[in-house]
């Protein structure tokens, strides 16, 4: 899945002499074996990722110095390479989390796809660097370089938590940059929460994001225990914060699909990952639909919301032998299948 070199990394291979002069802290949109290329060209980088799937893949490759979490562990780094993430707010967050590891004068690089917001690199670096230069541009990707001149304040995760109220539920939903639906309840999730009001037993919130589905159900249902999984460290932390601030208790842990889940559930509930054009997201949901029955107790159910146009009913029928449509709007449908 991460085998092919992205156009951004391809462009970076032309700049390995500069990039590998010092051991870099590398973070952001990591989607290939770039850390290995850097390690071949010079000192091995330290890699920090918020993506559990990438973390597991790099660990399997034997890359020792990779961390998964919300911010890199304290320490020092001789320079930073930020691969521009999809959301600008996430780039700001990653700079704030990683730059405190650098000393004044250390090099800071930002690389990314021209269509992915890399052009905002000078603006993003303005609070930290006096001058930002464009070092290279090829294959629709660009590389910017700067020198750290203004030492950043120590990083505090709490400063990055945003909140919105869910009035009907009397809940406060907490999110972090880049987390799905960070500023308001997604309309698909809203329909799911309107359709499914009571659940009992062991429940899994698959792809929990800011924890809105799990926290809402837990608040309404005393006879329920909750587990929340996501691939993204910032989503997991947002869910933990949402649960804690609303005095709710659940087990929250990273998992790529159902890979880290053990035992069987009474219900698996989800607004699953989707993104037109990104094959991996369909793959995650397709795998969930075909394997969920193995993770359900007899009589247990898989309940999901999906865009009405997605071909999920056929996949659910193939795996469960049936698929109920519990609710439908022009845009979304709620499906349920029982084991």
Ligand X SMILES: C[S@@+](CC[C@H](N)C(=O)[O-])C[C@H]1O[C@@H](n2cnc3c(N)ncnc32)[C@H](O)[C@@H]1O
Residues that bind ligand X in the complex, under the rule CB under 6 A: 53, 180-181, 186, 189, 207-210, 212-213, 229-232, 235, 255-257, 271, 273, 284
- The C-alpha atoms of residue 298 and residue 59 are separated, in whole angstroms, by 36
Q: Which is nearer to ligand X, 97 or 213 (CB)?
A: 213
Of 93, 329, 324, the C-alpha closest to 188 is: 329
Q: What are phi and psi of 53, to 5 degrees?
A: -65, -45
Q: Which is nearer to ligand X, 20 or 70 (CB)?
A: 70
- The C-alpha atoms of residue 66 and residue 36 are separated, in whole angstroms, by 11
Q: In the structure encoding, which two tokens stand for residue 195, read together?
A: 């359709």
- The C-alpha atoms of residue 192 and residue 230 are separated, in whole angstroms, by 18
Q: C-beta of 305: minimal distance to ligand X in Å?
A: 8
Q: Which is nearer to ligand X, 32 or 147 (CB)?
A: 32
- The C-alpha atoms of residue 110 and residue 276 are separated, in whole angstroms, by 26
Of 189, 191, 196, the C-alpha closest to 175 is: 189
- The C-alpha atoms of residue 32 and residue 10 are separated, in whole angstroms, by 10
Contact in structure between 101 and 76 (CB atoms under 8 Å): yes
| Residue 247 CB neighbour total at 10 angstroms | 7
Contact in structure between 266 and 300 (CB atoms under 8 Å): yes
Q: Which is nearer to ligand X, 28 or 257 (CB)?
A: 257
Q: Taking each helix axis from N to C terminus, what angle separates 212-220 and 233-245, rounded to the nearest 10 degrees?
A: 30
Q: C-beta of 74: minimal distance to ligand X in Å?
A: 26
Q: C-beta of 232: minimal distance to ligand X in Å?
A: 4
Q: In the structure encoding, which two tokens stand for residue 330, read together?
A: 């022009």
- The C-alpha atoms of residue 234 and residue 210 are separated, in whole angstroms, by 9
Burial of residue 262 (CB within 10 Å: 0-12, 13-18, 19+) is exposed
Q: C-beta of 170: minimal distance to ligand X in Å?
A: 18
Asked whether the CA dihedral 203, 205, 211, 216 is positive or negative, the reply is negative
Q: Which is nearer to ligand X, 186 or 286 (CB)?
A: 186
Q: C-beta of 1: minimal distance to ligand X in Å?
A: 11
Q: Which is nearer to ligand X, 116 or 257 (CB)?
A: 257
Question: What is the three-class DSSP state of 34?
Answer: helix
Q: Which is nearer to ligand X, 95 or 213 (CB)?
A: 213
Q: C-beta of 122: minimal distance to ligand X in Å?
A: 29
Q: Which is nearer to ligand X, 189 or 266 (CB)?
A: 189
DSSP state of 51: B
Q: C-beta of 300: minimal distance to ligand X in Å?
A: 19
Q: C-beta of 35: minimal distance to ligand X in Å?
A: 21
Q: C-beta of 322: minimal distance to ligand X in Å?
A: 24
Q: Which is nearer to ligand X, 46 or 267 (CB)?
A: 267
């Amino acid at each position: 899945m991460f085998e092919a070199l992205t156009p951004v990394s391809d462009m970076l291979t032309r700049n390995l002499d500069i990039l590998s002069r010092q051991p870099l802290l590398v973070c952001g949109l990591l989607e290939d074996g770039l850390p290995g290329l850097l390690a071949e060209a010079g000192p091995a980088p330290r890699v920090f990722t918020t993506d559990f799937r990438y973390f597991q893949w790099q660990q399997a490759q034997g890359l020792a110095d990779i961390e998964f979490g919300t911010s890199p562990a304290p320490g020092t780094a001789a320079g930073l390479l930020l691969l521009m993430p999809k959301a600008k707010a996430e780039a700001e967050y990653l700079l704030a989390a990683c730059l405190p590891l650098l000393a004044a004068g250390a090099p800071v690089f930002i690389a990314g796809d021209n269509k992915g917001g890399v052009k905002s690199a000078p603006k993003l670096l303005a609070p930290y660097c006096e001058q930002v230069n464009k070092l290279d541009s090829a294959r629709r990707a660009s590389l910017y370089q700067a020198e750290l001149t203004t030492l950043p304040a120590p990083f505090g995760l709490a400063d990055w938590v945003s909140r919105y109220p869910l009035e009907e539920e009397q809940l406060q939903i907490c999110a972090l940059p880049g987390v799905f639906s960070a500023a308001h309840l997604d309309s698909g999730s809203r329909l799911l929460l309107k359709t499914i009001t009571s659940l009992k037993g062991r429940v899994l919130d698959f792809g929990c994001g800011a924890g809105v589905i799990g926290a809402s159900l837990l608040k309404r249902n005393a006879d329920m225990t909750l587990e929340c999984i996501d691939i993204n460290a910032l989503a997991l932390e947002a869910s933990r914060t949402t649960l804690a601030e609303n005095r709710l208790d659940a087990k929250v842990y990273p998992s790529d699909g159902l890979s880290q889940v053990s035992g069987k559930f009474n219900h698996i509930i989800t607004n699953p990952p989707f993104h037109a054009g990104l094959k991996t997201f369909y793959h995650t949901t397709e795998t969930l639909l075909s394997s969920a029955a193995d993770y359900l107790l007899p009589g247990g159910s898989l309940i999901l919301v999906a865009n009405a146009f997605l071909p999920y009913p056929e996949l659910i029928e193939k795996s469960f032998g049936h698929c109920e449509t519990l609710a439908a709007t022009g845009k979304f449908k709620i499906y349920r299948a029982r084991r």
